[in-house]
Amino acid sequence: AMWLMLQQDQPRDYLVCSGSSISLKDFVVKVFEQLNLNFDDHVEIDKSLYRAVDLEKMWGDNSMTKDELNWEYDLSINQLITHLLADEREFILWQEKVANS
């Protein structure tokens, strides 16, 4: 999507997102699952820290990005998390390599 944005004659703001919604807690639970960790064993939620205006779920409308750039989001949330974790692992290995050289 980013490359397609840069190919446009005029700059515009495009929203790059899945168009679907997931709560932060559900996202974090899925991350923990992929790490073979139990969310409840590692996270304590303090509801007193919630703000009155906190949204349970947020989502974006990517219709303009789809229509004008002919772009389509094609990852499931689990695929996205797999990619994010793989990138993080790769970055950690790179940091260790740099630190030891």
| Look-up of token digits 């899945």 | 18
With both helix axes pointing from N to C terminus, report the angle between 24-34 and 77-99 in degrees, rounded to the nearest 10. Answer: 60
pLDDT above 90 covers a percentage of the chain that reads 80
Q: Return the structure tokens found at 61.
A: 């409308």
Whether the full predicted model's pTM is greater than 0.95, yes or no, is no
Per residue in 47-76, pLDDT (tens digit) is: 898 888 877 777 899 999 999 999 999 999
d(CA 76, CA 85): 14
pLDDT < 70 positions in the chain: none
